[in-house]
Amino acid sequence: MLDDEFAVAYLKAVEKKHKDYFDDSKLGIMNCVVIKGKAIISVSITNDDLPLEIKHDIEMMFWVE
C-alpha cells in the first residue's frame, strides 16, 4: 500500500468512526481535507467547522498544515 493510499484508508476510518457528524453535515471526509505529497504525506484540514475530536484524530496521525 502506498503512503497516500494508507492516508485515504485512515481518513475513511475516521469518517466511519464519526459517521453521525458526516451523515448530518452531508459531507465526506475527503471534502474536508487535502492530502499533499507521495513519499511524505501531510494533510491539510480545509473545513474549519470539523469538531475538535475529528481534527484531533487527523492531527494525531498526520502532519497537519
User: For each of the chain's 65 residues, which pLDDT tens digit applies?
Assistant: 568 889 999 999 999 999 999 999 999 999 999 998 877 888 999 999 999 999 999 999 986 65
Give residue 42's pLDDT: 87
Give residue 12's pLDDT: 97
Beta-bridge partners for 60: none
Q: Tell me the three cell numbers of residue 6.
A: 494508507
List Cβ neighbours of 3 (8 Å cut-off, separation of 6 or more): 37, 38, 39, 40, 41
Distance of alpha carbon 52 from alpha carbon 55, whole angstroms: 5
Give the β-pairing of 42-45 and 63-64: parallel
Give residue 23's pLDDT: 97
Distance of alpha carbon 6 from alpha carbon 8, whole angstroms: 5
